[in-house]
Amino acid sequence: MNQIFFGDNLPILKSLPDESVDLIYIDPPFNTGKVQKLTQVKTLQSEDGDRVGFQGKKYETVALGTKAYKDSFSGEDDEALSRYAAYQDLSPEASIYFLESFLRPRLEEAHRLLKPHGSLYFHIDYREAHYCKILLDSVFGRKSYLNEIIWAYDFGGRSKSKWPAKHDTIFFYAKNPKAYIFNTNEIDREPYMAPGLVGKEKAQKGKLPTDTWFYSYVGRKPTDTWWQTIVPTNSKERVGYPTQKPTKLLERILRASSHPNSIVLDFFAGSGSMGEACLKMKRNFILMDSNQEALEVMAKRFSGIKDIEWMNFDPGAFQREENQYIIEKLKSGINTPELSENFRKLASSASVLENKFKSQDVPWENSPFEWQHYLAPNQKEVVGKELMLSWLESEEIMLKKEKVSLKFSTLSAEGNYEFENILEDDHEYLLCFGISPFEAHAWVFERATLSTHAKENLISINPKNTPDWLKGKESSLESAIQILRKTEGIIKH
């Protein structure tokens, strides 16, 4: 069930259960066109202060006065320039006060609500991004910071007195930076600049976008910017809300950081673009906004859509006609099975490993280890040994490093495992571990045995047609475990 709340988001957030949301996207109201009142403050050291700062010293804040500005800076006309000047007059303390009193408690709730594998996309105007990054670090932790995504656009006026500002910032944080959802294979691709140099297959598939998105469409220009225009004035998607974001921008975020049936939260929902993107991508959503106009726009936008629970707001007066545009759009949405919670947790760990080690985009068809097969040689060695150690640990085996050398290989196109550098050290034994698309093999060898069969410091083994010297030797993981346990002097106790 999807939910849309009308009201102050803070008490609503507090009412939701811990670790109940997979993904959060928010675009806080720093550029809404409304009058924002910010109180200038001065921070003084005080033994009775209510805030703790550097080296544990206590501080108190003293209000110096209140200033207000109309929070809109688009265009270069006289009114826009006067608003910009008013904004410039605000001291840094005013922005910090707004962040601490308004945003911090909401971000703390966001952190509480995220599941262990969840992530946050924080969309903010460039004028406030530097303040917000510090706040986000303090709530989520600096290690949870993953990206500063730049969304570049090319609409509006162009200043003649400075470089025209044509971008927003989207900060990407993971609750657990070691296990979070990131679906590399689901993300829309960008064309290569020189497709003739990468081959027909890779050119057709395209390459992954980076952290800068340009506006022509999400995933077109091969640079570091997400480039997606505002919703055009003549677009059927446009609902007449000033801060409306294009659904393609949000769909990219959903593809990357959620699964079908994931729960997605946007507690500054505005016109409800995230809700529309979720409906198309088969995600569940929770939307919140305190603006009556926003709820009216959402009511019209979702007219005719079932399974939406409206909280503290009756949409009936604004839903006299079904929104045929969104109904038709949803017919072309994705159709995928529901994923269990345990599967999502496993997928979040796998996605981190994949993006840590993956170096090429060529698939190893239908195998759970397709990404591992195409690692660069140095990456393959690292991830292979990590995989072997994890496997041994699950069997409660810890090998003596000075006794046993670990070797890893994936199955080549010719159907062979190639174990390299097998005679490079003085280990008495070698554990050779191989991964094929749907099987794993392991052999335990004495170094003396391999020295007579190695060619140029390498042994090649075809598991379906083993060489004569390996005939009759088991290659299962279970048999390797048994041999290791029976061999004296190689296991730590």
Predicted local distance difference test score (pLDDT) of residue 345: 61
Instruction: Using the predicted structure, report yes or no on whether residue 406 has a pLDDT greater than 50.
Output: yes
Mean pLDDT of 154-172: 77
pLDDT digits (tens, 9 = 90+) for 10-41: 999 999 999 999 999 999 876 434 444 434 44
Q: Cβ contacts of residue 169 below 8 Å, gap of 6+? A: 123, 124, 125, 126, 129, 148, 149, 150, 151
323: tokens are 């929104």
Q: Is 493 exposed, middle or buried (0-12, 13-18, 19+ CB in 10 A)?
A: exposed
pLDDT digits (tens, 9 = 90+) for 284-340: 999 999 989 899 999 999 999 988 999 999 999 998 888 888 787 777 655 555 666
Residue with tokens 């202060």: 49
Cα gap 453→457, rounded to integer Å: 9
Pick left, alpha or beta for residue 7 (phi over 0 → left; psi -120 to 50 → alpha; otherwise beta): left
Mean pLDDT of 130-158: 87
What is the CATH architecture assignment of 372-486? Answer: 3-Layer(aba) Sandwich (3.40)
Mean pLDDT of 339-362: 57
Is the CB of residue 124 less than 8 Å from the CB of residue 30?
yes
CATH topology of domain 2-330: Rossmann fold (3.40.50)
Q: Could you state, in order of their start, the residue ranges of all structural domains in the chain?
A: 2-330, 372-486
Is the CB of residue 267 less than 8 Å from the CB of residue 325?
no
Instruction: Specify the pTM.
Output: 0.58
Cα gap 200→334, rounded to integer Å: 27
Predicted local distance difference test score (pLDDT) of residue 39: 43
Per DSSP, the residues of 103-131 read IHHHHHHHHHHEEEEEEEEEEEETTTHHH
Burial 430-442 (b: 16+ CB within 10 A, else e): bbbbbbbeeebbb
Mean pLDDT of 381-407: 87
Percent of the chain with pLDDT over 70: 69
Instruction: Using the predicted structure, report yes or no on whether residue 437 has a pLDDT greater than 50.
Output: yes
Per DSSP, the three-state class of 188 is coil
